[in-house]
Amino acid sequence: MPNPSVCSPKNVELVIGIPLSYISAGQRIAPGVVAMSKHKLAVFWHPDVLLHDPGRGCYEFESSPLMEIDEPHPETADRIVNIRSALRRGDIRKLIDWHDGRHAGRDEIERFHTEEYVDSVIAAEDTPPVRIDGSGTVVNVGSVDAAFAAAGTTLDALDAVLANSNLAAYALVRPPGHHAGRETPDGNCIFNNLAIAVESALRADCQKVAVIDWDAHHGNGTQSGFYDRPDVMTISIHMPLGSWGENHPETGAVEEIGSGEGKGFNMNIPLPYGSGDQAYVKVMQEMVGPAVARFDPDLIVIACGQDANQFDQNGRNLLSMRGFRNLGRVARELADDLCDGRLLLCQEGGYAITYSAFCMYAVAEGILGIEKPMEDPLAYDASIEQPAAPFAAVEQIAARWRALVDG
Ligand SMILES: [Zn+2]
């Protein structure tokens, strides 16, 4: 049975402030008011990430003979241009430091990917465009430069986090990465920027790294890359989307808990469609927070895609700005409590080019501890009719996870 004290909209507030205080509620106060903050956010950017153009079609696939008008591939540069502008123009801009990124070296990319795979990506650019996964992942003119810039800029953000305690850094990059395996492209992802950063952190002074992936899709590439590793805890909160082609069998089940020495260090939380803000509060409180605390990492890395938002054409989890703000707050508090504030955020999916930007703005507000955040200009109020089913699902997932890991 769902916990009725949690299902009541008013009781979102009651969840807040219990001893495991990794949750706090968003507040609707005056729009655009920035209250005190004890943090700043460093954002890393390189213009070459805009060079990647996957083209047009029937959504992310080849044109349909039924359609007269093709539309842009959803993984368009516009989406992160809007995130950049929101962070530059919004009232939190004074709390954000911007930094130039760089291209990665091949040796850095090969900390995660195989040499053969990197060769195949570079070769694909000789005959553009190429659907390198046989599906929606495209290499076009400029894609290789963009992919190298995305990986290198993520590594610059990592270096800043490792060099400064209490620093949150955000790599605002594309193409995204979390579906890419060590030798496989997938799901609009060419190089797994986050996984390259994790391998790099472990080569530096980190003994253990926790990855929290709140992109709406399962972080299958990151999971597979570290599945047998006890030094990397991978957690993915996603919707159970199913397969999207031969290159992408369905993954992300609760039963995938890691193997060998990595058993117990992979956590999948597949939430029902429409779960909403309050179900994510419950997930962070009852599963993610305690698991990361037990793991006690030296660094927390967030795959911070925004496609769990209410308006995303690729997501069905219906989060609002408030939900994303809570995720940012939890991430910040976990990093503060467990690893001297070391927090790295990596851009992943998020395809609604307006609302993704508002949601990333809300994540930044959460990280910065903004007390009077911006009012949401678009969302349906998810607190009004929160269905009970997601709460029951979270409890079932949590119980199943405990049984699998303890059994
Ligand atoms: Zn996604």
Neighbours of 67 (CB within 10 A): 11
The answer to whether 69 and 156 have CB atoms below 8 angstroms apart is no
**What's this model's pTM, rounded to 2 decimal places?**
0.91
Average pLDDT over residues 231-254: 92
CA-based angle 113:118:124, to the nearest 5? 145
The whole-number pLDDT of residue 9 equals 31
User: What is the CA(238)–ligand 1 centre distance, in A?
Assistant: 8
Average pLDDT over residues 330-342: 96
Percent of the chain's residues with pLDDT above 90:
83
Report the C-alpha gap between 12 and 210 in whole angstroms. Answer: 26
User: What is the CA(41)–ligand 1 centre distance, in A?
Assistant: 23
Whether residue 179 lies in the annotated active site: yes
The whole-number pLDDT of residue 13 equals 30
The whole-number pLDDT of residue 359 equals 98
The whole-number pLDDT of residue 10 equals 29
Which pLDDT band holds residue 46 (cuts at 50, 70, 90)? very high
**Domain 36-406 CATH (choose: 1.20.1440.80, 3.20.140.10, 3.30.497.10, 3.40.800.20):** 3.40.800.20
Report the C-alpha gap between 286 and 280 in whole angstroms. Answer: 10
Report the C-alpha gap between 198 and 196 in whole angstroms. Answer: 5
The one-character DSSP state at 375 is P
Given 178, 179, 218, 248, the catalytic residue:
179
The one-character DSSP state at 261 is G
The one-character DSSP state at 336 is H
Listed by start position, the domains of the chain span 36-406
The answer to whether 272 and 250 have CB atoms below 8 angstroms apart is no
Q: Which two tokens stand for residue 50?
A: 């805009």
User: What is the CA(131)–ligand 1 centre distance, in A?
Assistant: 18
Is a pLDDT exceeding 80 seen at residue 21?
A: no
User: What is the CA(222)–ligand 1 centre distance, in A?
Assistant: 13
Which pLDDT band holds residue 383 (cuts at 50, 70, 90)? low
pLDDT, tens only, 350-370? 999 999 999 999 999 999 999
Residue with tokens 């609760």, as numbered in its chain = 254
- Higher model confidence: residue 225 or residue 244? 225
Q: Comparing C-alpha atoms, which of 120, 239, 100, 233 is closest to residue 180?
A: 120
User: What is the CA(391)–ligand 1 centre distance, in A?
Assistant: 22
Query: Counting every residue, how long is the chain?
Result: 407
The whole-number pLDDT of residue 384 equals 62
Report the C-alpha gap between 218 and 248 in whole angstroms. Answer: 11
Is a pLDDT exceeding 70 seen at residue 31?
A: no
User: What is the CA(29)–ligand 1 centre distance, in A?
Assistant: 30
Amino acid letter, 406: D
pLDDT, tens only, 138-194? 999 999 999 999 999 999 999 999 998 889 999 999 999 999 999 999 999 999 999
